[in-house]
A and B are shown apart, each in its own frame.
Chain A
Amino acid sequence: MTSRPNQTPTAPRASTTPHRSFTAHRCFIVPPYLLAHLASLEDPRLEHTRHAARRALESEHVFHTIRPGEPGTMRPPAAHPRASPDDDLSRPNRFISDAAGTETLPGRLVRSEGEPPHTDASVNEAYDGLGYTHALFCDAYSRASIDGAGLPLEATVHYGEAYDNAFWDGSRMVFGDGDGQVFSGFTRSLSVIGHELTHGFIQYTANLVYSGQSGALNESVADVFGALVEQHSRDQDVTEASWLIGEGIFTDEVEGTALRSMKAPGTAYDDDVLGKDPQPAHMDDFVQTDDDNGGVHINSGIPNRAFYLTAAGIGGNAWERAGRIWYETVTTEIKANADFRGFAGATIGVAGRIYGDGSGEVEAVRSAWQVVGVTS
């Protein structure tokens, strides 16, 4: 870690602020005939009317449906009995708590859904990040929260003392402040927030075993949707996006731009204290280790790059077609103990089901897994 005098001492925090406004009304957990109607009620002065109309029109149980213009070959997901007809599942239900430097969870509740911004930047970053994550799943995949049934999104900030980590404990996201020398606060990166919540999404769907190849897939899927949350919020297409995970998390003293690069695994950092980014970009370099549950944060580089290559091959907004293929794979196709090859096969099958065998999408997926050496 050497100082870099040419760099601005602190990265401008505003630069990571997404600029897309929430479009929660696009989450179609209500019957299709409502969609056009709801879309016409965007005027904030009609908010009350919109709510009343929705409550009246929503059916006995809330269900997912396919968005107009989407391929009709997909199976509609099952109904979610936990949802109440009074719930507006198109909106997030967020709760941010403050551990105040302790390791006690959840900590003190400091900002609930709909409350104005807090004086604490970490609280607001977590609150906004949960909202952007909810918006991606809702907008792009018609999924109401990470469980598909409107689960409240809970986060704790300021966990531990100089704690260099963020994690998902099975029911909430937890963020440390970093030590200030290597890491700054973990709420600063939207891809980190999206990553943590995606662990929750995975838990409610494929529930990939967090060890070995299935564990690396768990990590990779969390990176994929973490990156897509960021891209969707900034309205960046595949060429505009950074494809970095955890950009802005390192302090300026670290020689590195982010924790991981999906586009070029192994290139995110190269620092004299931290060492070099150890992620492989090809199966030839798959790392065998007992640590890190079998290198789940290392070998995720391989499926990460496969997703990037798929998105680049398809073009446009990555959350639309590439993201849709991965989403359907995780929610409908794979088992908890899936390995890279099984996951690859499932994505090719899903792409064929949605876009047609012989489509450009199928070709992009097939080619991506070949390039990273998972399939031949």
Chain B
Amino acid sequence: MKVTVTRSGGFAGLARRWQVSVESEPDEESWILLLRKLPWNEIAQEPPQPDRYLYRINYEPRNNATAASPDRNRITEPVIAEPREVVIPEQRLTGPWRELVDRVRERDEQERNLAHPTRNDG
């Protein structure tokens, strides 16, 4: 179960991507609870605002191999069976979507800093 956030646009037009594998998160259940709150089918379209960010959020479900031996204490049923993708303009990134994006970004950046401790030291 993977969540990928791609941020494009912005004044600089610099694309950024952050990703989290939910199964390998220590607080997997809270991720699943968050993923269940997302209103995937309620994305309102609206005209873009100049220079604002655009967020593309991709969800890939758990593959069968890793779901073979569920822990009884975990919430094991799939969050959503099919892959999903939504594109949300920054000004509409609120509620659980904002929570998800902030969380994916934070976790991904933590991982990168562990892997490359000098990366952001300039």
Residues of chain A having any CB pair with chain B under 8 Å: 1-3, 164-170, 181, 183, 186, 192, 195-196, 199, 210-211, 215, 218-219, 222, 246, 249, 253, 259, 273-274, 278, 289-293, 296-298
The residues of A that contact B122 with a CB separation of less than 8 Å are: 1-3, 181, 253
CB atoms of A246 and B50 under 8 A apart: no
Name 14 interchain pairs, CB-CB below 8 A, sorted by A. Answer: A3-B122, A164-B12, A165-B12, A166-B51, A168-B49, A181-B122, A192-B11, A222-B50, A246-B12, A273-B119, A291-B9, A291-B54, A292-B15, A296-B13
Q: Is the CB of B53 within 8 A of A165?
A: yes
> Would B8 and A291 count as touching, CB distance under 8 A?
yes
Docked pose: A183 CA to B14 CA in angstroms? 12
User: Contact: A165 with B8, CB < 8 Å?
Assistant: no
Interface residues of B in 1-32 (CB under 8 A from A): 6, 8-15
User: In the assembled complex, which residues on chain B have CB atoms less than 8 Å from the CB atom of A165?
Assistant: 10-12, 51-53
Give the Cβ gap from A112 to chain B, nearest Cβ, in Å. Answer: 25
- Residues of chain A within 8 A (CB-CB) of B12 are 164-165, 183, 246, 249, 259, 297
Nearest-CB residue, chain A, relative to B91: A169
| Complex CA distance for A71 and B54, rounded to whole angstroms | 43
Closest 7 CB pairs of A and B: A297-B13, A291-B8, A167-B51, A199-B50, A292-B8, A253-B122, A292-B9
Q: Using Cβ atoms and an 8 Å threshold, which residues of chain A touch B15? A: 291-292
- Take A3-B122, A169-B91 as given contacts and tell me if A164 and B54 are in contact as well, using a CB distance cutoff of 8 Å: no
Please determine whether B54 and A167 come into contact, CB atoms closer than 8 angstroms: no
Cα A331 to Cα B12 in complex, Å, equals 26
Most buried by B among A3, A196, A222, A293: A293
**A186: which B residues are within 8 A, CB to CB?**
11
Shortest CB distance A24–B (Å): 27
Complex contact B48–A246 (CB within 8 A): no
Q: How many Å lie between the Cα of A45 and that of B54 in the bound state?
A: 52
**What is the CB-to-nearest-CB distance from A224 to chain B, in angstroms, rounded to a whole number?**
14
A to B contact number (C-beta, < 8 Å): 81
CB contacts (< 8 Å) of A210 on chain B: these are: 47-50
B54 and A293: CB pair below 8 A? yes
B103 at interface, CB cutoff 8 A: no
Q: Mark B70-107, 1 if CB is under 8 A from A, else 0.
A: 00000000000000000000010000000000000000
Chain B residues lying within 8 Å of A218, measured Cβ to Cβ, are 50
Q: Are A164 and B48 in contact (CB under 8 A)?
A: no
- Chain A residues within 8 Å of B53, by CB: 165
4 more A-B residue pairs beyond the given contacts A274-B14, A292-B9, with a C-beta to C-beta distance below 8 A: A192-B11, A195-B51, A246-B11, A296-B13
Give the chain B neighbours of A199 by CB distance below 8 A.
50-51
Instruction: Give the interface size class of chain B.
Output: 20 to 34
What's the minimum C-beta distance from B92 to chain A, rounded to whole angstroms?
A: 13
Chain A CB within 8 A of B66 CB: no
Q: CB distance B11 to A195 under 8 Å?
A: yes
Residue numbers in A under 8 Å from B11 (CB-CB): 165-167, 186, 192, 195-196, 246, 259, 297
User: Which residue of the partner chain A has the closest CB to B6?
Assistant: A291
Shortest B16–chain A CB gap in Å is 9
The answer to whether B13 and A298 have CB atoms under 8 Å apart is yes
A252 to B52, CA, bound (A): 25
Q: What's the Cα separation between A2 and B122 when bound, in Å?
A: 6
- A297–B12 CA distance with the chains assembled, in angstroms: 7
> Closest residue of chain A to B12, judged by CB?
A259
Question: How far is it, in angstroms, between the C-alpha of A237 and the C-alpha of B12 when the chains are bound?
Answer: 26
| Cα A167 to Cα B119 with chains together (Å) | 28
Interface: B120 (CB within 8 A): yes
CB within 8 Å of A: which B48-64 residues: 48-54, 56
Please indicate the chain B residues that have their CB under 8 angstroms from the CB of A2 in the complex.
122
Closest B-chain residue to A211, C-beta based? B48
Instruction: Please report the C-alpha to C-alpha distance between residue A210 and residue B13 in the assembled complex, in whole angstroms.
Output: 14
Closest B residue to A300 by CB, please name it: B13
Known: A165-B11, A259-B11, A274-B14. A293 touches B120 (CB 8 A): no
Closest Cβ of chain B to A360, distance in Å, is: 34
- Chain B residue nearest to A195 in the complex (CB): B11
Q: Which residues of A contact B48 (CB under 8 A)?
A: 210-211, 215, 293
CA distance A296 to B122 in the complex (A): 30
Contact A168 B51, beta carbon cutoff 8 Å:
yes
- Give the distance to chain B from A208, nearest Cβ to Cβ, in Å: 10
